[in-house]
Chain A
Amino acid sequence: MDIISSALHDAFSPFALSFVLAAIGLNVHFGYTGLLNFGQAAFCAVGAYAMGVSVASFDLPLIVGIFFGLVASALLALVLGVPTLRLRADYLAIATIAAAEIARLVFSTSFKEYFNARDGVSGFTRGFRDINPLPDFNGQFLTFSRNDWWVMTVGWVLVALTCIFLWLLMRSPWGRVLRSIREDEEAVRSLGKNVYSYKMQALVLGGVIGAFGGFIGGLGLASVQPDSFNTDFTFIAFTMLILGGAARILGPVVGAVLFWGVLSGVGSTLARLSSGDNPIIPPDLMGSDQVSNVRFMLAGLALMLLMIYRPQGIFGDRKEIALDAR
């Protein structure tokens, strides 16, 4: 029972929420527009740091910090997009990987009086927690602290609003242009659409949504640390997106929840099986200290099986994938 409850706990936790939003942003980039952004971590990090530093170091109100975070992530999108979006898709991929690493290194080594190296920024959550109207959550088998419960409420409302907004956007002619760009840029150009401008809009939009992921993650952990934004961050977000189904509004949401839920469930199951005096899994095969690595191996295996048997993800449309074979 507690395996399920801890899985559920992790699946909806503030930590998972930051991935949900990052994956939604990637869905705009990759799922709808076909932009290969391998540096979503940078957008989240830049947003989170801009918010954290504004509040912690400059005593600005949280809302101003959030505003700066959004501006910073939009600027990052412009800086990355201007030189690369006219070029082939791979240039953006390379630039974004590099940007994510540069951002992480800058945050962990430079401007220590603001970024505090690997300790990260903290002490910016007061304004957020002060307006928390909720009590601790003690459900049937799930419990959340008051703070977590508040971050989750805000976060999931934000996810819902983002999804509604994206749904409205993607069913519009604007969304149609994005989906067409993913298919064939030249065809879109030949019909008089400014492909470069649309790609830029998509990059900014997805980056800004990623920044919201950074905010929620930061507020949930009450700190912003450089190492949470390593390259794994982006690739896990990609995994979630593909698991749920790219170019589907709810794809990244379901993918992220499922990913954390299953990962956490498998982790605690393995831990149970490999611990105790007489473990079911022999210690020679896997010790209890190896659980956290083994569960990622299993996640990789599951992803491979998924790609083989259901390449369109959970929500994807089989017919669309079949078209690629033609």
Chain B
Amino acid sequence: MPADATPNPTPTPEAGPTTGPTTGPTTGTTTGHAAAAAALAQVPSEPGAAKPDPIVIADNVKRSFGGLTAVDVEHVEIQRGVITALIGPNGAGKTTFFNLLTGFDQPDSGDWSFNGTSLRKKASHKVARLGMVRTFQLTKVLSKLTVLENMRLGATGQRGESFWAAPLKFLWGGQEDENTVRARELLARFKLDGKEKDFAGSLSGGQRKLLEMARALMVRPELVMLDEPMAGVNPALKQSLLGHVKSLREDGMTVLFVEHDMDMVRDISDWVIVMAQGKVIAEGTPDSIMADERVIDAYLGAHHDVDITEMEREIEQEHLEYGDPMGDSAHQPREEEK
């Protein structure tokens, strides 16, 4: 597996604080992820393809706003223990689909399950407790809490969150300290350790994205759903975050993320699902998706694998060669940029 051989930027205590063993549920002799990814190789590249070990299965999930059908997913499965990317043009229904899956919005019809438990009509907090945690495209940090308090809030099973235990610090102080240690480790991973005491509202846009992602991990999710996690994060940090997301996978976590940055999708995802106008129009490994006609038409655009300045140079070249004064017929809009 050449993709996994890339060195992890921060190889230190990843395995330590996280709960599960480093091997996922589908353990063979290799790591959980390698086995799961290998299993994906057998899956046909077609919309609604059945996976060998799905963690989420959705059927006929429909949601319309007035006359507009925002989501109309016939059948989709998310493989356990791998990183799945959900891509598609603006307004394709990706965020709405996230909202539906996690109970933040109610569908007109449809059913879906997580680990075999049906989540239809499950309240959003129960979905999170089952181990399916999401972040928001428009970040939701708690501005008037400090960064560290934001993190602590994420921890589950806190004794001090019950009314009767709350005034008695000796009942929850120890647990709070443990949570704080873990929160600091995560903050360090996300390069927010210097900001611990600041109000979250004072963070920059990109830092808020990072905080939200780190906070979601405090819940110790089995499946983490990230809505455009890298939007507004600078390239250097993006690189190291990619490493972190991969390390989540090594720890047996399943990741589903929405992203418009195709380099990132190509780099870390094992599987790609493409939505357009509410429907799943294609599925497959990153390479097969990038080559798929429909995906190029609906989303990527003809020049998707060309650097933008390079593309402009090419177009200029064409003008020179053919002496076409206007020549903008060759200039396709790049939809992949936000």
Contacts and interface: CB of A to CB of B under 8 A. Distances in A.
Contacts of B199: 319-320, 323
A323 B143 contact: yes
Contacts of A192: 125-126, 128-129, 133, 156, 219
A319 B219 CA distance: 29
Interface stretch (B166-174, B286-294, B303-311): B166-174
B153 A183 contact: no
Nearest to B144: A320
Contacts of A174: 160-163, 165-166
Contact of A186 (B104, B126, B133, B169): B104
Interface in B210-227: 215-216, 218-219
A138 interface: no
Interface stretch (B60-68, B134-142, B184-192, B260-268): B134-142
B152 A176 contact: yes
Contacts of A133: none
Nearest to A325: B201
Contact of A184 (B140, B167, B219): B140
Contacts of B153: 173, 176-177, 180, 188, 191, 193
A175 B172 CA distance: 13
Contacts of A188: 142, 153
Contacts of A180: 142, 145, 153
Contacts of B176: 173
B105 to A, nearest CB: 11
B118 interface: no
Interface stretch (A54-62, A106-114, A164-172, A299-307): A164-172
Contacts of A143: none
B125 A183 contact: no
A190 B124 contact: yes
Given A173-B166, A176-B153, A191 B145 contact: no
Contact of A193 (B102, B161, B168): B161
A168 B149 CA distance: 16
B158 interface: yes
A59 to B, nearest CB: 34
A177 B159 CA distance: 12
A201 interface: yes
B160 A173 contact: yes
A173 B172 CA distance: 8
Contacts of A272: none
Most chain A CB within 10 A, of B102, B133, B144, B215, is at B144
A168 B161 contact: no
A193 B160 contact: no
B201 A195 contact: no
B166 A172 contact: yes
A187 interface: yes
A190 B161 contact: no
Interface string B70-107: 00000000000000000000000000000000101000
A126 interface: no
B278 to A, nearest CB: 23
Most chain B CB within 10 A, of A189, A192, A205, is at A192
A321 to B, nearest CB: 9
B175 to A, nearest CB: 9
A165 B156 CA distance: 24
A85 B98 CA distance: 24
Contacts of A189: 104, 123-125, 128
B152 A191 contact: no
B154 interface: yes
A241 B68 CA distance: 46
Given A174-B163, A180-B153, A323-B143, A190 B172 contact: no
Contacts of B168: 168
Interface in A223-263: none
Contacts of B202: 323, 326
A194 interface: yes
A186 B123 CA distance: 12
A205 B164 CA distance: 12
A180 B215 CA distance: 13
A215 B144 CA distance: 35
A5 B169 CA distance: 42
A129 interface: no
Contacts of B140: 184, 186-187, 190
Contacts of A320: 144, 199
Contact of A190 (B134, B145, B149): B134
A189 to B, nearest CB: 5
Interface of A: 165, 168-169, 172-177, 179-180, 182-184, 186-195, 201, 205, 319-320, 323, 326
Q: Which 7 A-B pairs have the closest CB atoms?
A: A173-B160, A174-B166, A192-B128, A323-B201, A187-B140, A172-B166, A168-B167
Given A173-B159, A187-B141, A191-B215, 4 more contacts: A172-B161, A189-B104, A201-B163, A323-B144
